[in-house]
Amino acid sequence: MLHSEKLQIYDMLKKASDSFYGFGSPSFPPERPDFIDDPSPDESGKTQAPPPPEIEIAESGALTDLARQVVSCSRCGLCAQRRNAVPGMGVTEPFVLVVGEGPGEQEDARGLPFVGPAGQLLDKMLAAISLYRNANCFITNIVKCRPPMNRTPTPEEAAACMPFLRAQVKILKPKAILAAGTTAIKTLLNTKTGIMRLHGKLFEFDGIPLLATYHPSLLLRYSDYKRAAWEDLKIFRAKLLEINPEYASIKNAPFGFPEGGA
C-alpha cells in the first residue's frame, strides 16, 4: 500500500472518530521518511502519473503574471486547504533553479518557499557553494500548495502543477537545476527511482544540467546524511564552475556547510 493511500485511510478513520466522540482527537499520521521509495506496478522505471493538463502560460516571460495564475489555481484538491499558494522566490535571471517538494506550514502561512528550519539549512547549503536566493538563485517546489499534514504530493497533484514549473524554467532560463529530495527528482525525471540511488548524479531536464541531493528536512531528522549531501554539493559546484567560473566570486553569508556536514 502506498503511503498516500495510508494517509487517506487515516484521514477517514480520524474524521469518523471525531464525529462519533464530538471532539477532535490528536493527529498521529503514519510517518514516511522522505527517502523511502513508494512501490510502483510499472516495471519500466516510469511513474504512471497522467499527462499534465494544458494550461495558458503568459508568453511575455513575466513572473508576476505566472504567480497570479499560481495563486488563483484550483487544478487539484490541494487548493482547498491552503492559506497561501507559494509560487517561489529569487532573482529573475538565476544561475541556479532550486526545486523542492512542496510548502510546509510556515511556507503556507507566509506564501514563500523554504522559510522554516529546512529553509535555513537550505540557505547554508547553498551559501557553502556560493549560491544565494537574493543573488543568483530562484527557489520553488514541485507543488505550490501545502499537502495536508505535509504528506508527499500524489503523482496527480505533481502532474497538475508541473506546467507551472515548466513555465518557470522557460521564463527564468536557469543554467543548472538542483533537485532537493525524492519528490523533486522523481517528478523532474519522471522516474520511480528515489533519492537514495540518484543523489549526487548529474542528469538533464529540458537540456539543463540537473543534480539531485537530499531534502534539507531529511537532513534535519537524519544528520548522518549530511556528509553525503556535502559530497553532492561539491559535485554540483564543480559543474557550475564548468558552466561559469565567475559565479563563485559571489561571497555573502558568514555561515557555511562545512566538510563532513553542517
Res. 38 pLDDT band, cuts 50 70 90? very low
Q: What is the pLDDT of residues 79-95, one digit of tens each?
A: 999 999 999 999 999 99
For residues 239-251, give the mean pLDDT.
89
Contact, 132 vs 90, CB < 8 A?
no
Residue 35 has pLDDT above 80, yes or no: no
Kindly report the average pLDDT of the chain as a whole number: 83
Main-chain dihedrals φ then ψ at residue 105, nearest 5 degrees? -65, -50
> Quick one: pLDDT at residue 44?
39
pLDDT band at 13 (very low <50, low <70, confident <90, very high): low
In CATH terms, 63-249 corresponds, of 2.30.40.10, 3.40.50.1260, 3.40.470.10, 3.30.460.90, to 3.40.470.10
Dump pLDDT digits (tens) for 101-112.
Answer: 999 999 999 999
pLDDT at 71 over 70: yes
Residue 226's pLDDT band, with cuts at 50, 70 and 90, is: very high
pLDDT number for residue 60: 52
The cell for 256 is: 557555511
Judged against a pLDDT cut of 80, whether residue 21 lies above it is answered with no
Q: What are the distances in angstroms from CA 82 to CA 100, 119, 123, 252?
A: 18, 19, 25, 34
| pTM for the full predicted model | 0.78
